Chains A and B, each alone.
Chain A
Amino acid sequence: MSQTNRLSSGGLIDRRKPLSFQYNGKQYQGYEGDTLASALLANGVDIIGRSFKYSRPRGIVAAGAEEPNAVMQIGASEATQIPNVRATQQALYEGLVSSATNGWPNVDFDVMSYVGKIGGKMMPPGFYYKTFMWPQTMWPTYEKYIRKAAGLGRSSTMKDPDQYDTLNHHCDVMIVGAGPTGLAAARAAAATGARVIIADEQEMFGGSLLSSRELINGKPAIDWVRTVVDELSANPDVVMLPRSTVNGYHDHNFVTIHERRADHIGDRAPVGMTRQRMHRVRAHWVVLATGAQERPLVFAHNDVPGVMLASAVTTYIERFGVVPGNELVLMTSNDDAYLTALSWASTGRKVVAVVDSRAKADGDLVKQVIDKGIRVIFGSAVYDVDGGTRVKAARISGLTADGKKLTGKSETLSCDTIASSGGWSPVVHLSCHTGSRPVWDDNIIGFVPGETQQKQLIAGGIRGHYDLLDCLTEGMNCGYVAAERSGYGPVGKRPEYKVARIRRSPAMPLFLVPHLKPISQAPKQFVDLQNDVTSAGIELATREGFESIEHVKRYTAMGFGTDQGKLGNINGMAITAQVLGKSIAETGTTVFRPNYTPITFGAIAGRNCGELFDAKRYSAMQPWHEENGALFEDVGQWKRPWYFPKSGETMQQSLNREVLAVRNSVGILDASTLGKIDIQGKDAREFLARVYTNAWAKLGVGKCRYGLMCKEDGMVFDDGVTSCLAENHFLMTTTTGGAARVLEWLELYHQTEWPELEVYMTSVTDHWATMTISGPNSRKLLAQLTDDIDLDKDTFKFMDWRPGTVAGVPARVFRISFTGELSYEINVSANHGLQVWKKLMEVGKQYDITPYGTETMHVLRAEKGFIIVGQDTDSTLTPYDLGMGWAVAPTKPFSFIGKRGMAREDAVKPNRKQLVGLMAKKPDVVIPEGSQAVANPNQPIPMTMLGHITSSYYSATLGRSIAMGLIRGGLDRMGETVYYPQADGSVIEAEICSPVFYDPKGDRQNV
């Protein structure tokens, strides 16, 4: 198909660079500089979509972000599919593959449109709330069919091949919009030396000037644009971002910008380039130069392909050299739209008539049109359209001065295009993101930004100022003011702008063109094209009691589409006000929220996907673990060895081997991941006493102590061993997963509650590699690797620590035990970790040293009844509930965190859930963790539950299963039987016992 609607000259496209693209399986041609929409219009494609609810054929209406219909599927391969791309904002590139998102079997002939035609009357707003209720059991079936109609485009089913990234900036002046106002602002601000960022959603800077015939300083406006762009490009303090949408304006002048770096190049980004980028900008001052969007007029059948925005028609002609039809009827309520008639006439195609709702108008543009001999019909309006898949004629009639009624005879004007204009709506969206409500201004017939808390200036179209000279001057002034307020200036000579003023006659507020019939009986007058919201729908909503504008929006779905009501919302609000007999100011607006236009999930996620979703942390000994076949467990951010299977072993066999090695000879555990916090200062000891439940006053240098930490409610929150390194210097250890939150907790208390304490905390987890050797042979092993630490059992006792040298490197050795065996925790600098670990393995060979992982560690500690916070506790247990009252020192002089909480009446009741040991009656049965205990397994549901199994293992040491768990009042119920009903109907019987299953006196760790 040839480009039937393409002019032979004119526009900003490059006719020397033809591009071929695909739409709905057919090949077409366009040019570099085209958007997908302009290329489709050039090729005479009328129908580009089907409406959401009624499946009505739809054509391109607009030329920018406000386009409601041309929502396309883009992508040449499965992995590169992008749903819902607005054709008006997609640059054409060679090989672009696109298709319409709705319509079956195709968009030109859609079976659903017959359903829409026949059933449409049965589908007013909210019809689904009133039906699909009988019988109740059928709703899933009804919904299945409702869901079939859901959505526009489709998601890829594969992983995204592209990458995205994020940049942070600070700047003095952030300018949103690079039309005349924004460019003048940027030029002014940049001249002062301020750091400027200017972003615009379009492919190139220039905004309205890209399709303007006006002169600036005697030259075509586009020349001025090029000059300013060159000037700004040469300034190193200016960041220019075309194809970049400011999607969100957040508190404290934080602005997010979505830059499409490669979407104009091809199906996916070139190698080495990210597809899109989020800029996160913190600006001293923000200048909103976002301009205005044209409001269409609402009349019957205003959705037939060929009905377009007047300014869009101008843009297609002037910027893209495309005339989207042959015979134009222009319907307007203001002077600006007369430009469209002038543009159309200049192409040599026919302007049938300009239909103006005003009784008279004599502005400059009106005069020019009349001078050209074009028929202008005042005091009239297009109230209906003939045609199904393309406009065939406009029906016009006289209109009363208030625009509320038709008068006189109607006339039918044959045409294939109707351009309409109801005036301009300032793009106030961003100004609302930080909570400011826009204000209705009768003078400009539109909403303007309301008061704001932000350091924000507004200029040009967003204020309802549309004259080019005003835009340039206001932009310039705002640029200077923003720069000066950011500390730049003083300003030298200001540039002068000479632009011939266009005299405009007053516009008329007109939001709904009346029909011969009342709203409820007239043919559909569309307000929101994407969601098929009509004036009758709005009227019905108010009739049913939905009178708040938010109710109207929600009941009708107005503004809920991917265009978020840019085209239709103001008309909808005005129509709501009209049917309620209120003013627009009283009715107000709904709230505009981010995003201004939709942005890619991948771009928001940036680099933080896949491998980089969250940091992976490994200990210094990781290479050894991997070489030796460890399986890993995620604990917090850490990858910890879970166990070390040997070939042919089941998991249980590996665990048994590792457990017995520790009990009988020596095992080695990588304990580097435990959180380590270095605490110093003259009040460090006092601080510890306040955050731990037990006493710290007397812990001497060289000694270690176990401590429990509670929150204010008295419930256990973390635990660990803290050692006294020097009088004012301690090393605290925390659980692996809790390290960060414990440090935050300590800092919170220090900074907000006890700032008077002199104490300093530093995370040193990563500084140290920690290896625990545990088992009866551990002392012998260590003795072979150190010659400056006295390992004598009476001088280096259990719960002591010593500095010294291990395997030739400086070390801290802690004699503490989480297995119940004689154990030493050797800490060396992380850089030496691997070397010392290898040495231990080498020397340990004679004792058959066995590496073990977290799972074996869990079994070993459970044999001893040692808790794991987070597994055996759940933030509902006091130290007393855990049988660990010995770790609470209620007589400490200063109250510790949680003291009062754990003393509350319900926290000290005898019948609380308490941690006990449990032995299944059948020793080979391992009770599933999480199982809930009951006293009587035969009671009806809901059963009375006593508590649950927190830890459960097979113990190779004991040759039977063991478990720890909570039982209501369990500490006083030793020897009693409880039952664990399972999902399969079976019941496991178990006896309550002490949680210390092995070596109850603790002899083995003290040897």
Chain B
Amino acid sequence: MENHQIELTQERFDFTSKMKNVIFMAIAAGILFTVLGFVTESAEFKMKHFWLSMLMGAYYTFLISLAGSVFVGINYLANAGWSVAFKRVPEAMGQYVIIGGAALIAIFLLGNHDIYHWMGEEAKNDPVLVGKSSFLNMGFFVASSAIFFGLYFFFTRKLRALSLKEDSIEGQDKFGGKIFHTCRRYSNVFIAIFGFTFPVVAWEWMMSIDPHWYSTIYSVYNFAILWVCGISTMALIVLFLKRHGYLSIVSKEHMHDLGKMMFAFSIFWTYIWLSQYLLIWYANIPEESIYFTQRGVGTATEPNNFTLQFWLNLGLNFLCPLLIFMSSTAKRKPNVMATLGAIILIGHWNDLYLMVMPGTLGENAHIGFFEIGATLLFFGIFIYVTLASLAKQNLITMGHPYLEESIHHEVTP
């Protein structure tokens, strides 16, 4: 066999002050919008609106960041080689997990009464909520979240540390795959822990906003959002890096596969959405169907203030990916992918809005300064942390045994 050794030159991302300034401006704008929110909002729902917006921003970025760690883990688990060329990107995304997690816990500690109905005084006289109190209580909520987020962060750091070590002893370990196998073992444990703890995170942080309502698929639904948004963000960051001249080893073939995943998991999200909606609609049990009645279905003659967003949810998250990414040539065009990535991220922002706001604010919800401010703030921090940690070490995982496979990756049937 001929030796197809490619001359690889290591790259390092330069986090320029220009980029930093743009991010700082976004964060500053986020803070400004939040202040404007405090000035303009009516006093009655101000605090509720503020805390719900913060929760939404923090949870959204937390999900996307966690998707980075899970992506790294799942690729080890599946023994996948194609994604190694841009492995540093999901690794870097995961570094924000602890910040997002800490922000969430801080939001809970400070704003729980405004966000969660079950934390209020009236919950003590509500027999249904009293029945749930051994799960929905402050102690368990904070302790379990802290442990879970800590575990996610531990595995994120561990996998990254091992990957960096793998790079430093390039040459020898590459052929033994010793560190690679250690990574696989950590990933196995990580994904198992993630699989069993993430549902609890989804129940606690999201489902309990509507504390009387329940749905068994809810945790899968949250996972679907995590995954599709994580993949889309990853694709956007890779495109950004390529536009600035980095990651030349990431070819159209890799982008094509990322595109396939954006497409496939948008359909997966729709499948989960439909499973939940169809079954609740069909059985028409009032305790369950109230969820969708509140969220825009209303009655045919009386749409409520979420009706537009209800349909937008399906349009942005299902129809757009379906129609735009059905063709395989579209998946290979950077501009189309960037557009669709943005659509998916906006679409699931809307999706989360429908999960978070109606339960507590109901008819008083409206998209205002608070939501935009919180989103800018948390996305600003997330992007900053991700790019900063990308800049901290080499962009190419030189020591990874599947690097060469990935460089020669080709999309074949």
Does A pair with B?
no
Binding site for A on B (CB under 8 A): none
Binding site for B on A (CB under 8 A): none
